[in-house]
Structure 1
Amino acid sequence: MTLWGGRFEGSPDDALSALSRSVEFDWRLAPYEIEVNLAHLNNLIEQSVVTKEDGARLKQALMELATEIGSGKFTYSKADEDVHSAIERGLVEKCGELGGSIRAGRSRNDLVVTDFKLYLIDHLLEVAALVAELVKVLNSQAKKHLDVAAPGFTHTQHAQPITFAQELSKHSHSLLRDIDRIFDWLNRNSKSPYGAGALAGSPLVPKPEKIAKELGFTGVMANSIDAVSDRDFAAEALFDLAMLGIHLSRIGEEFILWSSNEFNWVQISDAYTTGSSIMPQKKNADIAELARGKSGRFIGNLTSLLVVLKGLPFAYNRDLQEDKEPVFDSIDQLLVLLPALTGMVQTAKFNPDKISANVTSGFSLATEIADYLAKKQVPFAIAHEAAGMCVKLCESNSIELDQLTDAQFAQIHPALTSDVRDVLDVKAAVASRSSSLGTAGASVGKAIAELDKQISRVEGEISNHRKLLSGMISQ
């Protein structure tokens, strides 16, 4: 079934129908379309376009369709062009010609973008809730390792000693930014486009604000042309999801390295690993690898939509049929990936002895020498040079920094007295970085406590946003 044809002399060619058909992927908007139809029906009754008696019949039919869509009893057919024509067909089957009354005062242009926004509001909240669960798991693991010293890395080389809890909890901070970006998206994009019609508005929908409120939007878009042509909200959502995917990829990469024989810092549970079809000994961190791999998919989805949107003139163009599949794919992949990654992190068993075993390798305490001299008012450029000379001397003699003699220290710089060895200690080095963002255990513990507070805030905001919706998240 199509929603057009009166001005045409013949039927569309099969090739056109195949190209134009979108119902296979936009059918997931059906529950939201029912909600929009119900709000629109109330408007049509109020405007006397539909009588109260006919309105009651249509409402009953819509409610029946909602149930049948949920159960799978009603679905699209081979003849349906899109979700809109399928649902109108269902109304006609139940109400006869009266079913076509629902189309008055609206266009597929404003209908589809309204459906799409409701879908995204619903599912971005679901993604945010799953990210919050991952943050809680990361925080829980971090709290267990506040006293574990680890080598910190820059350029994938040993840099300075850190608290391993800080290494883990750094991901919580980036993930909370991802959630806040979703909230920003909601604040900016929870405006209804409904009532824009094809592009100019409709005299049959004089109060779009009322429909917006019924659907849980915070207001109405200000320009009807912008309302039907805007897909900023979809591109922005894809960016938010791509950024989240990049953060998940970083987590995956670190777990891949940590679980290797070369690191042996973590044991990933058998429940979250796979084996090899030829090598019996293998235990592969596939979840972590898929988290890393899918980031490319999320970035690709964003890029593909941006390319579609560039250069589109005026109001709605059929190019915009291409807006939904990239979004649906990114949402689908994250709803599968996030629970798996959360389970992997939650059940991971870290090896503190292995993590701490090589904290000082690579002369990671060299900065302590430079800081020691700086505290003695030695210009840092000179202090840095002296610390580098200490490293060079150790390398040439195959010894560690604390094995240099008093004479060797003094030869490099007279301010390097014997008490310099007091700072060449991992615990002292970590504890000395006690600012609010530093790696000292006490500082990291306070930061994690603040993260826990932020998660409580996030869960409250998710709950408040969901109250505006109608429980459509399972669709």
Structure 2
Amino acid sequence: MKLWGGRFQKNTDELVDDFQSSISFDRRLYRYDIRGSIAHARMLARQGIIGNEEAAQIVRGLEDVLADIEAGRVEFSVAAEDIHMNVEQLLTARVGPVGKKLHTARSRNDQVALDIRMYVKDEIDQIRRLLGELLTTLLDLAEAHVDTVMPGYTHLQRAQPVTLAHHLLAYVQMFGRDADRLRDCRRRADVLPLGAGALAGTTFPLDPGFVADQLGFAAVAQNSLDAVSDRDFAVEFTAAAALIMVHLSRFCEEIILWSSAEFAFIELDDAYSTGSSMMPQKKNPDVAELTRGKSGRVFGDLITLLTMLKGLPLAYNKDMQEDKETLFDAVDTVKKCLLIFRPMVATMKIRREKMAAAARGGFTNATDLADYLTGQGVPFREAHALAGRLVYYCLEQGRSLEELTLEEFRQFAPAVAEDVYRVIDIRHCVDARRVLGGPAPQAVREAIDRARAMVAQVCR
């Protein structure tokens, strides 16, 4: 008979058992379930709801169950439906009827909410650590390439010269926000729901504060209905995970482009590339492509959670069982991608000369020419038009701005002097942009220092 089967006159159909069972995926929550049950048993004894010796038996039995699961000696039962009831059955088989007292003053509703919250908190800590490792790698790479000039792009067209360090620091900001979002999300996950029962609490004199202290929760749920029906923290985590995947995917898109023969800015290490079964010359950026593709999984996980919750009345509904596979998939996907992305970036070969050559092409110094003319007293809109006409003249001549003579410049803009060549030099174009957040080496070094402090704060 089911643990809840007292009012039923017949067993559930085998198809129903299989359909509603979650043990195939929620088994990964076993450590959290047992930790929560140990804290609950100790609280019951502390409050005089069960005897001290009974609690001690239950705790020892749960520790034995944990050891058996860890050792691979347990075969979970589909008929027991989920990890909670599996653990309870395993416990009762070891300690006898006293094991049946463990579920006093709690429901699977607050039990599963507890397990998921503990799981999310732990996974947030792990993902923040992985983000910290990635951020440190990017900052080390940026420090090595403060002077590596490359083109910056808009619309995937060469726009203005920047440095590789400056480009990498843009992703440092993105991943830093990701870590900070996770830190903030963890605060809202750090609320103990145990004690809410099925939805209306219990008549037993519980001490949720004691359980919160035992399990390391910062707060206790303030409403029993909300405690068992809230999955906002899971949605919020998955939304943060989706943004991590957005940022990884954007970076991967650039790595894919940069490693192509058309760009040739980088070469990926052989350990993070694959070949073709037909074309022997190929070196494919499959790791970057797979990471880019896996972003869709996490976006789907987020939509699944939102859709699952949107029409649910209070309090718990069986629909909410669908939260786990989705949440687990988001966690697994983000962790796998972060684990492989960091060494892929750390080992790629940077082709500085290719980046510099690209920065010198495409008239990326045209804005500096317009700014120079503005400094000579030409209104910016006129200066912009003059620089544009000079670019068009160069295109017709098959030359660059640097290759024009002073006389040619003065045909379009009489105010141009000899110092124009210094101003439109690509290196100068970068060095002159010393504003906060700009690509000039000194500004970048200062940004790296600030970013290291940020990482220490949001990833610890």
TM-score class, shorter: over 0.9
Distance 2:179 2:3 in 1: 39
1:47-446 equivalences under 5 Å are: 47-446=47-446
Task: Note if contact 1:195-1:205 (Cα within 8 Å) is conserved in structure 2.
Answer: no
Secondary structure class of the residue paired with 1:6: helix
In structure 1, what residue type is equivalent to 2:211?
A: I
Task: Note if contact 2:47-2:207 (Cα within 8 Å) is conserved in structure 1.
Answer: no
Distance 2:207 2:233 in 1: 23
1:20-35 equivalences under 5 Å are: 20-35=20-35
1:108 Cα deviation (Å)? 0.5
In structure 1, what residue type is equivalent to 2:165?
A: A
Secondary structure class of the residue paired with 1:358: helix
Over aligned residues, Cα RMSD in angstroms? 1.4
1:129 Cα deviation (Å)? 0.5
Distance 1:340 1:2 in 2: 44
Deviations 1:408-436 (A, max 9, x none): 32232332334322211011110000112
In structure 2, what residue type is equivalent to 1:167?
A: H
In structure 1, what residue type is equivalent to 2:48?
A: S
| Structure 1 stretch displaced more, 230-239 or 329-338 | 329-338
| Structure 1 stretch displaced more, 317-326 or 165-174 | 165-174
Aligned sequence identity (%): 42
In structure 2, what residue type is equivalent to 1:197?
A: G
Secondary structure class of the residue paired with 1:414: coil
Distance 1:434 1:219 in 2: 46
Task: Note if contact 2:183-2:458 (Cα within 8 Å) is conserved in structure 1.
Answer: no
**Misfit runs of 4+, over 4 Å:** none
Deviations 1:106-133 (A, max 9, x none): 0011000110000000011101101111
Task: Note if contact 1:109-1:197 (Cα within 8 Å) is conserved in structure 2.
Answer: yes
Secondary structure class of the residue paired with 2:311: coil
Q: Rate the CA distance shift 1:191–1:78 in 2: closer, same or farther, 3 A.
A: closer
Task: Note if contact 2:107-2:198 (Cα within 8 Å) is conserved in structure 1.
Answer: yes
Unmatched 5+ residue regions in structure 2?
none
Distance 2:203 2:46 in 1: 13
Task: Note if contact 1:2-1:81 (Cα within 8 Å) is conserved in structure 2.
Answer: no
Task: Note if contact 2:269-2:347 (Cα within 8 Å) is conserved in structure 1.
Answer: yes
1:53 Cα deviation (Å)? 1.5
In structure 2, what residue type is equivalent to 1:146?
A: V
Q: Which residue of 2 aligns with 1:468?
A: none
Unmatched 5+ residue regions in structure 1?
462-475
Task: Note if contact 1:373-1:415 (Cα within 8 Å) is conserved in structure 2.
Answer: yes
1:189 Cα deviation (Å)? 2.4
- Taking structure 2 as the reference length, what is the TM-score of the superposition? 0.97
Distance 2:285 2:2 in 1: 48
Distance 1:334 1:402 in 2: 47
In structure 1, what residue type is equivalent to 2:303?
A: T
Task: Note if contact 2:200-2:225 (Cα within 8 Å) is conserved in structure 1.
Answer: yes
Deviations 1:144-188 (A, max 9, x none): 111111111111110001111111222111111100001111122
Task: Note if contact 1:43-1:205 (Cα within 8 Å) is conserved in structure 2.
Answer: no
In structure 2, what residue type is equivalent to 1:97?
A: P
In structure 1, what residue type is equivalent to 2:30?
A: A
| Structure 1 stretch displaced more, 222-231 or 68-77 | 68-77
1:205 Cα deviation (Å)? 4.9
Q: Which residue of 2 aligns with 1:448?
A: 448
Secondary structure class of the residue paired with 1:153: strand
Deviations 1:358-386 (A, max 9, x none): 21211111001111122233221111111
- Taking structure 1 as the reference length, what is the TM-score of the superposition? 0.94
Q: Which residue of 2 aligns with 1:470?
A: none
Distance 1:278 1:98 in 2: 66
| Structure 1 stretch displaced more, 138-147 or 415-424 | 415-424
In structure 2, what residue type is equivalent to 1:8?
A: F
| Structure 1 stretch displaced more, 415-424 or 162-171 | 415-424
Q: Rate the CA distance shift 1:418–1:60 in 2: closer, same or farther, 3 A.
A: same
Secondary structure class of the residue paired with 2:114: helix
Q: Rate the CA distance shift 1:94–1:184 in 2: closer, same or farther, 3 A.
A: same
Distance 1:24 1:46 in 2: 35
Deviations 1:203-248 (A, max 9, x none): 2253212211211110111111011111100100000000001111
Task: Note if contact 1:196-1:228 (Cα within 8 Å) is conserved in structure 2.
Answer: yes
